[in-house]
Every structure is written in C-alpha cells, then in structure tokens.
A = this chain, B = another copy of it.
Amino acid sequence: MSPKITTELLKQLRQVMKSPKYVQEPVQAYIVPSGDAHQSEYIAPCDCRRAFISGFDGSAGTAIVTEQHAAMWTDGRYFLQAAHQMDNNWTLMKMGLKDTPTQEDWLVSVLPEGSKVGVDPFIIPADQWKRMSKALRSAGHDLVPVKENLIDTIWTDCPQRPCKPLITLDLSYTGVSWRDKIVALRSKMAERKVLWFVVTALDEVAWLFNLRGSDVEYNPVFFAYAVIGMNTIRLFIDGDRMMDPAVREHLQLDSTLEPEFKIQVMPYGSILSELQAVGAGLSPKEKVWLSDKASYALTEAIPKAYRYLTPYTPICIAKAVKNSSETEGMRRAHIKDAVALCELFNWLEKEVPKGTVTEIVAADKAEEFRSQQKDFVELSFATISSTGPNGAVIHYKPVPETNRTLSVNEIYLLDSGAQYKDGTTDVTRTMHFGTPSAYEKECFTYVLKGHIAVSAAIFPNGTKGHLLDSFARSALWDCGLDYLHGTGHGVGSFLNVHEGPCGISYKTFADEPLEAGMIVSDEPGYYEDGSFGIRIENVVLVIPAETKYNFKNRGSLTFEPLTLVPIQMKMIDVNLLTQKECNWVNDYHQKCREVIGAELERQGRHEALQWLIRETEPLVRV
C-alpha cells in the first residue's frame, strides 16, 4: 500500500474553505466525518469523502483540515492502516491513547481566536454537533453548518449516488404488512403524544415499507427518508424506482386507499424543506419524533421546543423483535448457510494440504457455495478469511498484499455471512487442518466455554444483554486471558448484519432489554498478536426458558442457536469441559446432524453429508 498523495487536494479544499461561493464567511477548519446522511455503518462510494480527501479508507475515522494542518482521528484497529494510507500532509491522532487530544481540544489548540469551524450538517449527528459546538463556543470559536459539502465541490470524479431497483417482500417473508407496521407505529406515536415521526436510518425505512435495495454493499437498503404523520405518509426517494409496477403494486400507489395510508412519493433531496414546512406548521404541544442520532440538518429543521428525541426509535425496537415469519426465514437462511459451510470445510480439508488455497481463494469459495443456495442475494459483510497471524487482526480482510496460504500448520479463522431473501447470516468457525498444539486447543476450549456460557445462560425477562458479557469471558479470565471486543450484536432479518438496540458487550449500557424474538450473535474469541486468532460465533434467537421456579412471575429467557455448523472437535480439549458443557456440544452437534444432514441429503450433497456426520460424533470426557 502506498499512501495517497493529497497535497493538491488539500490545497483545493483550503481554497473552497475561503470561497464565498460555498461559505458565507471563510471557515478556518473543516470537519470530514465518516458517515453518510443516515448514520449508516456501511456507506456507498459517493459517501466515502473522508477516504477521498485522506486516502485512509478504514470504517471509522474523522478528518479535520485547517489552513495549516490536516489530522485524522481513528481507533486502535486502524492505526497501522491509516499510517500506511496517508501521506505526510496528515497527522494521525491515535484515539484511546492517553496523550491524544480530542478533536475539540486539538481545534482549540491550533485555531486562531474567533475561528469558524465548518461541517456538513447532513453528515454530523445532532448529538455530536451539540458536544462539539459547546466545546468550541466555550473557547470563543463557532461551529457552522456549510450547506454544500466542500469535499463534493473538489471531488471531480465522485461516483453517483446509487439508485438500484427495489425488492418487494411479501407477507410470507415479513409476517406483517407495511400498513400494519404504520398502524403500530402510529399507536406508539399516540402513546408518546407525538404527531410526526421522521425515519432517517436506511434499514428503518426498508423495514417499515417491506422493501429492500442494494444501494450499499452488504446492506440490502436504499437511499430514502420517510416522514410519518397521523394521517400522512411521505416517502422521499429518487430515481425511477417508483415506476416499477411491482413496487407500485406493493405500496398500492395506484389504488384507492384511505387517505391515511396513501403514500406521497417525494424527491430524496426535498426532505429538508418538507421537514422545515412541518416544523413551521406546528402548534404548541405538537411534537416531532426523531432519533437523537439523526443529522444536525434534519434535527434543526424542527424548532427545539417541538422535538422529541430518543436514542432508539420505535421502529428500531419493533424491528429487533422478529415475528414468526421472520424467525422461520432466519432458520431457513441459516440452514442454507450451514450447507454452504459444510461444503466449504469439506473442500478445504481436501485442498489445504495441497498448498494452493489462499485466504482469498477460501473466501471466494465460501461465496461460491453460498451463492448456490436459494434466494441468495449477496454477502452480509466482507469475509474475514484469515490464517495464522492474520487471524489475530480482528477486522482483517484479505487483500493481495497480505493474502496468506492456508496450511496444515496454522489455525484458520473464517468469519462470514450472507444475505438471503429470507434472512441474514453471520458465523465464525476456527479450524485446524493439521494437528493443533495443546496450547491452541486450550485457548480454543476456553473460548468455547465462554460461547456455551452465553448460549446456555438463563436470565430473567428484562435483562439487558451487557449483563451477560462477563459469562463469555469467565473461563478466559480464570487463566489471565481475554479479548478486546464485545461478545455480540443484534442481527437484522434480511437487513443489516449489525443492528440495535440490543447486544452483548461490556461497553454498552444503553442497550434495550433482551426480549423473546430478538436475534443476536454470540462470538467470544482469543487473539495472540503475531500467532493466531480464535473466534466461535453463532447467531442465536432469544426464546422463553422453562425454569423450576418463577420469581415475581417475571419469566425467564435463554438462547437457541440458529447457526448450525459443527464446531471442530479436534480443537477441543475435552478434559477442560464440564459434563454440562460436553453435553451442550453433543446436543448442538446432534441438532446440526439432524437438521443440516437432512438438507444436505435433500440437496444431494453426499460428500459434505459424510463430512458432517464425521464432525458431529459425540465427544466423550475421559
């Protein structure tokens, strides 16, 4: 990787920062955040502005350019990558290190008195604006919204905003019609006494209307906003996508409907002016509900007294609790996904000893097997296919420069998943194609014990996921080991592979309680820099648990694994397992054999079936 040469670009940016064509008054600093106007985790190429101006294309980072300086804040995952990708014009600000200043502190230290700091108000979330603005103001500076994105003005070959065709999902996939979702939403709005709800997150728009898209890689979403009133529905979306007869039919655009279900389609770019019109027409006590992470631009469109902001929207919370159609879809998707992985692992077992399988080849082969399955759409994230020391790089993605060949001497870690029309998968297995060392088995077994501790946990209704995080670490902690990431995240149903409002992490306390029907990942790991990485990940469904007693009638919950892929037995040191843990593994493998075996049989995949049968023999403690 050679760094991107940014001298000329920075010169241009500094010019437009002073140009009356774009800014009312010159700005002495310009902030380029990572995100898009919807606070998406994955963004479209046209939104990769920070990567364009700096060369650094990791998933997290904020660039700030002043007349003299250019600085990039990113976290520990990306220190090396950012240093490689950026030229000498840039200073790397290593977040999380003691001596690294915050963006605010750094700005205050370098800016001349009474400076203006510009930012695109559509890209910065309202809560971040507030914090940054307050800090700057108390030091005598001003944070100002710059309407036109200054990067876009100098990005001559900026890709177009994608505008791909939509997929309509019928009731057999979604379980609930968009009309019923609107009714439920309006009842939540009535409960909170709000008159309007603004849908800004792309997966929330997609979920609400039972539509999917492919504007952003890995995430089946499309660029749109929606504004739901008690009697109106406005959908802000571009292109000729609304010309598609299937979409028109799905949204009943040409039917005579009760007025409160009539969807008004409007241009994507008109959201701000429409919302300002809504804001201007409000009477006292009329409120508009927005996510507190919505952009500053949209939040400001509603006068402060009329805003109702929450960290999680009612759609986010409703979307997280899967109904039976969604759950059944997720089950089907996971069965197909397991078939593909059984094929892959059987194939790897034969091919790896030949020395011809690289990380990229293995990742491609995984995609090939997945793509043979019914209703396959695309991958759900960039496959992490890593062997030996690359396995210790938690967010590794093989590229030609790092591509390593799998061998019988190294641990192989595969974290991968797909979007099927009936569900989203995300699974990690760690394998050895030769003979693992006693130490590797020991570490793997601690990780497995942590995985089981979460998966088999029984906990009261109302428990938040972060309270389960330590269960995943206890066996590692006992030996002085640990891993530096959370244990689980919410998973969408043919939607984003990471979604709120639930998760299992020591870091999050703002998560919503786990409820039956929620789906999260369970993925403890252990990583040894320069040597290997281990992670065992299943996607699990929250289900009611039967317990001997029932304190305060609260009821209990537990998890049911949706992922049904064998956990490699040669990596397990059986004697480190308790009898209960051993039984868990055997029950799990028995279920893999039954459910996936039947599907392999049905698909005529006999060799993979033999592999599955061998890999699901019961463990015996000695």
Residues of A within 8 A of B (CB): 138, 305, 457-460, 467-471, 474, 476-482, 506, 509, 545, 547-552, 554, 556, 578
CB distance from A525 to the nearest CB of B (A): 12
User: In the complex, which residues of chain B have a beta carbon less than 8 angstroms from the beta carbon of A469?
Assistant: 467
Q: With A460-B482, A467-B506 given, can you name 11 additional A-B contacts, CB distance below 8 Å?
A: A458-B478, A460-B477, A460-B480, A467-B469, A467-B470, A478-B547, A479-B548, A480-B545, A480-B548, A480-B551, A578-B578
Bound form: Cα–Cα A467–B507 in Å: 10
Q: Is the CB of B481 within 8 A of A459?
A: no
C-alpha spacing A114/B216, complex, angstroms: 52
Chain B residues positioned under 8 Å from A482 (CB to CB) = 460, 551-552, 554
Complex: A24 Cα to B235 Cα, angstroms: 55
Smallest Cβ-Cβ distance to A446: which chain B residue: B549
Among B457, B478, B549, point to the contact of A480 (Cβ < 8 A). B549
Q: Could you list some 9 contacts between A and B, CB below 8 A?
A: A458-B477, A460-B482, A468-B470, A470-B471, A476-B551, A480-B545, A480-B550, A480-B551, A509-B509
Interface centre among A459, A470, A476 (most CB of B within 10 A): A470
A443 to chain B, nearest CB (A): 9
Copies of this chain, tallied across the complex: 2
Closest to A547 in B: B480
Residues on B with C-beta less than 8 A from A547 are 478-480
**A459 contact set on B, CB distance < 8 A:** 470, 477
Min distance, Cβ A212 to any Cβ of chain B, angstroms: 36
Sort A-B residue pairs by CB-CB distance and give the 5 closest, nearest first.
Answer: A480-B547, A480-B549, A509-B509, A479-B548, A481-B551
Contacts of A305 in B (CB 8 A): 138
Contacts of A467 in B (CB 8 A): 469-470, 506
Q: Across the two chains, which residue of chain B brings its CB closest to A460? A: B482
- Bound-state CA distance A478–B548 (Å) is 8
What B residues does A556 contact at CB under 8 A? Answer: 477, 480
Q: How far is the CA of A482 from the CA of B509 in the complex (A)?
A: 20
Which one of B457, B478, B481, B551 lies within 8 Å of A474 (CB-CB)? B457
Most buried by B among A460, A471, A476, A549: A549
Are A549 and B481 in touch, CB under 8 angstroms? yes
* A442 to B: closest C-beta gap in Å: 9
Residues of B within 8 A of A578 (CB): 578
Determine how close the nearest CB of chain B comes to the CB of A543; give it in whole angstroms: 15
Q: Give Cα distance in the complex from A550 to B477, angstroms.
A: 9
**Interface centre among A457, A474, A506, by most B CB within 10 Å?**
A474
Q: B506–A477 contact, CB under 8 A? A: no
Cα of A478 to Cα of B457 in the assembled complex, Å: 7
Complex contacts, A545 vs chain B, CB 8 Å: 480
Q: Is the CB of B506 within 8 A of A549?
A: no
Which B residues are in CB contact (< 8 Å) with A549?
Answer: 479-481
- Considering the complex, give the chain B residue whose CB is closest to the CB of A469: B467
Residue of B nearest to A529 (CB): B552
Residue of B nearest to A464 (CB): B506
In the complex, chain B residues whose CB is within 8 Å of the CB of A471: 470, 474
Inter-chain contacts of A474 with B (CB < 8 A): 457, 471
Name A580's closest neighbour in chain B (CB-CB): B578
Q: Which residues of B contact A550 (CB under 8 A)?
A: 480
A392 to chain B, nearest CB (A): 12
Docked complex Cα distance between A24 and B148 (Å): 53
